[in-house]
Structure 1
Amino acid sequence: MLTVALGAVPHTLESQTFSRWSTPCDGLDNTASIALGDLDGDGDLDVVFGNGMHLAQTDWVLSNDGYGMLYGRRALGDSPDPSYGVALGDLDGDRDLDVVVTNDAGALTAIYRNDGKGNFSALAYLGNYRAPQPRRAVALGDLDMDGDLDAVLVGLGQDHIYLNEERGRRWSERALGLREAGGGRATGVALADVDGDRDIDIVVPGRYETLSVVFINDGRAGFAETRSLGAGPEDVTFVAVGDVDGDGDPDIVAAHWEQPHIVYLNDGRGHFKKGATFGSGREQTWTVALGDMDLDGDLDAVVGNVNIGFWRSDLDGDRRDEQFGRTDRDEPSRLYLNDGAGRFLAGSSLSTGTDNTRPVAVGDLDGDGDLDVVMGNTCQPNHIFFNPLRSPKSP
């Protein structure tokens, strides 16, 4: 077990250490997404790793022993897929958590039904069977206010919403915006009632110098009204939604690739103004997660950084970036602490600068009342970082 110092920060995590534990995986997976939830009904958080990205790999389900140790690794699905996004929710109305997995080109989005004990079987598939569209992220919420969970799928090309019609077995598809809205290349999506009208709106980040867009729900899963987020096209890899300034409405934290991260503050009616920025501007950040990491009553931010990759340039003038050239960033994934007003301070290292982290997720894995961090890596072991603020319960 490795301890990682957080450094000097003006909060209760000062001079504390996070304990790092490697999950029981072989370290060869390209982990693109992580979902936490009680899959087997025993009261603790289990883990789903979505693996593959552009390669066909096996997705894994791992059980929690109640003390943060994961065991019983088992495959999700009958065959490897190029998985990107994972989300959990009760799609069939039987009060347990089912799993949705989005895939890259050549594979449909898959819905797996939970038997209540953490065993999964295929329930339905979303998309065009003849030409599966690459899907990079998924979010679940009751978009049409009929009492069940619907799905938002984004990625390359046209984004879509899928309305749940028959307990997860039949779905109706609707296009979400124009292909250009959100860039048609998003790698994340978030849901929240941003305008205070009690329905769920959609936030789609714009990748590769495209616009990030907020889609306003009309209450019937219609999203004709859109609002741009930010001053113009940017490279936003992921968005997380939560009340970061303590005024009671959901704000947006936008993680950027090789640019400072931006906080967008909500006026309560779904109009956002640019707030503080944070980060070095060198980070190749893939995801951001929000949670009260230091137990001071506000939402802090954890970012997952990629350290080995390629720099991009539009070499042929087609408005699409070609990958060309290797980068080694030495930018560890970090915890940023909120000052209570939506300003994130004193970024502290959680991993080493050689970890190639994409997804991060926060949750109380060891049952001690504070939030731990799960990080997914590319061709490296995935890790859990246990928060030191409270002592874990004893077996």
Structure 2
Amino acid sequence: MRSRFTLSLVPVGRTLAWATLLCFQGCQQSAPVQNEGEPSARQQTTSTNHALFVDITKSSQVNVNYESGHSDSNYALLETVGGGVALVDFDHDGLLDLFFAGGGRLAPEMSAMRGERCKLFRNVADLKFHDVSSTGFVPGTAFYSHGVTGMDYNADGWTDLLVTGYGGVQLLQNQGDGSFCDVTRDAGLEVFGWFTAAAAADLDRDGNADLFLSQYCDWKPEFESGRFCGDAKQGIRDSCPPQDFDPAPDLLFRNSANGQFESITEAANVRADGRGLGVVAGDFNGDDWIDVFVANDAGNNHLYWGGDSWPLREAGLAGGVATNEYGLPEGSMGIAVADYDGDLDPDLFVTNFELENNSLYRNDGNDFFQHMTAVAGLSGDCFSLTGFGAGFGDMDGDGWEDLFVVNGSVYHHTGQSPYRQPAYLFKNNQGRFQDVSASGGSFFEMRHPARGAALGDLNNDGALDLVIVRQNEPAVVLRGTQAPKRWLSIELRGVGGDPRAVGAVVSTSYQGRQLARWVVSGQGYLSQFDTRFVFPRDADVDEPVFVRWPSGTMERFDRLRDGRTNLLVEGEGVETGPAS
């Protein structure tokens, strides 16, 4: 969310020969401002008979608004960040449940602040959800919440939740009986700050999930009290840019296995010069150590390579992911991870601020990422939107990971594009992307003030579904329609370490090509994706599934069942030796 007054530094002349093919009408800067409920221009080409997603929000009984506080008309920077959603099976019934951050409210003149209750919706089958937030299942949240991350901090096999926001974090321990208990103080996580994204992974390979917390700005309500941002000549007030406030340092906490976290921020050499909005942890270079990528707003992104000792090695510039292809920092928000080009290395996609292309970083396998936004067909004239949630997933069942991005301006009146903006959907054609938003369904025909979003199979039918959080408007639940003809789902359980197995890689073969999926923590924007993976299968061949566990051992699993989730437990496969 960079200041629009710095955008003159971004080079022009990016239009490519194929740009007209990939641009969709709703993202043109010349498009008229449209109110909520009005369709975008692409509606004219949508075929409802072949929609990739169907809006089932009403029938799902998911009824929740993320409260940004803008109704109090403060135009505070705090109100622009938005909220996220976690897709987790909190009660172990095999169905993904939904946990939404609540946001908060600022009193007029920002004299006081309160947090809004986070919401938990239990999946009761057939794509129906029941709100169990107010029945004692979820403690209240005192601070203004933004994001939520699933983790298993005590390695008991039950998914715990970490809520981030302005004022601190909240660790909710899953009690195993369908309820959560606030253990923030007991866990040593009572910290004050503006925490946005979080990732949980075992960085030191001691068997416990550590915690990386991304902070945004050194901001307090009184900093904006009486301050005017916007169009002074016309007297139009709007949000202040983040450059008006100093960056806040990211924090790293080591899980000491006794239910306590201790800060190792200094020992790990975690940088303090970023305004973090996104973070993802996983093994990005195949050395069996967890790495961390941080998407920073209005500054260089950070990339930390993990290893067998502290400190972490920060290599954002050396690794090619700190800036755009012109060496300029951008307003980075959401992060997606996948092998988009089929070379068996995890690549990174990052959403950016208006008048900046989103960034696709191709992993070349040598601790370096190449800028491939233009080559892959994801640039051109379509850069007038502000991107937030994003994710890779095989949304049409062909084995190639497609891409979704949801958008929304941070400016109500003075932005380069409307406040409500269209989402878009790209089909992966063997490493080149094609805009298929017009076939995405009714959600992709409208404009939204979108923020966090998460992919997952909500009804276990093999098709990926999508949940989107919007600013001060109801969250949206989309049912995916394109399951592979033959498929299986894979869930991992680590033993002797983090049960969620963050850092593992799952692979199998399909149509003569190897497919790989990475277990990561923190991707998307302020959200938690389904940690299971759906793979298509050949019509007449039962290919084995291979798992490279975070320890570095490789196992083969055979005789897996189609059309259902297969739980693969570390140590129960056929060990094939250390992964190469």
What's the TM-score, normalizing by structure 2? 0.50
Q: Which has the larger radius of gyration?
A: 2
Q: Does 1:119 pair with 2:260?
A: yes
1:298 and 2:439 aligned? no
Match of 1:219 in 2: 365
Query: Do structure 1's residue 236 and structure 2's residue 398 form an aligned pair?
Result: no
Q: 1:173-211: CA deviations, max 9, x gaps?
A: 332446345961111112211111111111011222321
Match of 2:168 in 1: 58
**Counterparts of 2:248 and 2:399 in 1: how far apart (Å)?**
40
2:58 maps to a residue whose letter is: G
2:303 to 150, 161, 181: 161
Q: In 2, are the aligned partners of 1:136 and 1:154 still within 8 Å (CA)?
A: yes
Distance in 2 (alpha carbons) for counterparts of 1:287 and 1:51: 14
Structure 1: distance between partners of 2:329 and 2:474:
28
Equivalent residues of 2:469, 2:476 under 8 A apart: yes
Matches within 5 A, 1:77-88: 77=189, 79-88=191-200
The CA RMSD over aligned residues, in Å, is 2.8
- Output the amino acid matched with 1:159: N
* Partner of residue 354, structure 2: 208
Residue deviations 1:316-369, cap 9 Å, x none? xxxxxxxxxxxxxxx300110011179xxxxxxxxxxxxxxx8444569xxxxx
Encode CA deviations 1:68-114: one digit per residue, 9 max, x unaligned: 31113314545311111101111111222111111113432111111
What corresponds to 2:151 in structure 1? 37
Residues 118 and 36 from structure 1, CA distance in 2 versus in 1: closer, same or farther, beyond 3 angstroms? farther
* 1:147-296 equivalences in 2 (<5 Å): 147-156=288-297, 157-167=299-309, 169-175=311-317, 176-177=320-321, 179-180=323-324, 184-228=330-374, 229-231=378-380, 232-233=382-383, 234-257=385-408, 258-268=420-430, 270-276=431-437, 277-278=440-441, 279=443, 281-296=446-461
Tell whether the 8 Å contact from 1:6 to 1:18 is kept in structure 2 after alignment: no
Higher RCO (C-alpha 8 Å, min separation 6): 2
Asked whether the 8 Å contact 1:77–1:122 carries over to 2, the reply is no
- Cα gap change, 1:209 to 1:97, in 2 (>3 Å): same
Secondary structure of 2:447's match? coil
Q: In the aligned structure 1, how far is the partner of 2:373 from the partner of 2:128? A: 41
Please tell me the residue identity of whatever aligns with 1:85: A
Structure 1, unaligned runs of 5 or more: 308-330, 343-357, 365-395
For structure 2, the 5+ residue unaligned runs are 1-55, 61-123, 218-246, 409-419, 485-524, 532-580
Secondary structure of the 1:287 match is strand
* CA spacing shift, 1:149–1:362, aligned 2, 3 Å: closer
Does residue 1:98 correspond to 2:240, yes or no?
no
1:67 to 162, 177, 191: 177
Tell me the TM-score normalised to structure 1 length. 0.72
User: Quick one: structure 1 residues 26 and 178, their matched pair in 2 at CA, closer, same or farther if it must change by over 3 Å?
Assistant: closer
* 1:304 alignment partner AA: V
> Deviations along 1:38-95, whole A, 9 cap, x unmatched?
211111100011111xxxx111111001233111331454531111110111111122
> Could you tell me how far apart the structure 2 residues matched to 1:147 and 1:265 are?
31
1:275 to partner: Cα distance: 1.7
- What does 1:334-349 correspond to in 2, within 5 Å? 334-340=476-482
Distance 1:32 1:109, change over 3 A: same
The SS at the match of 2:316 is strand
Are 1:41 and 1:117, in contact at CA under 8 Å, matched by a contact in 2? no
Distance 1:149 1:178 in 2: 19
Same amino acid, percent of matched pairs = 22
Select the structure that is richer in strand. Answer: 1
Contact 2:302 2:314 in 1 (8 A): no
Tell me: CA distance 1:262–1:168, structure 2 relative to 1, closer, same or farther (3 Å).
farther
**Whose helix fraction is larger, Structure 1's or Structure 2's?**
2
Report SS of the residue matched to 1:79.
coil
Hey, what does 1:7 align to over in structure 2? 58
CA–CA distance in structure 2, aligned partners of residues 98 and 26 of structure 1:
24
Matched with 2:232 is none
CA contact (8 A) 2:168 2:192 kept: yes
Secondary structure of the corresponding residue to residue 7 of structure 1: helix
**SS state of the match for residue 332, structure 1?**
strand
Q: Contact between 1:113 and 1:120, CA under 8 Å: does it hold in 2?
A: yes
Q: Deviations over 1:274-317 (max 9, x none)?
A: 1234526332111110000122111100001111xxxxxxxxxx
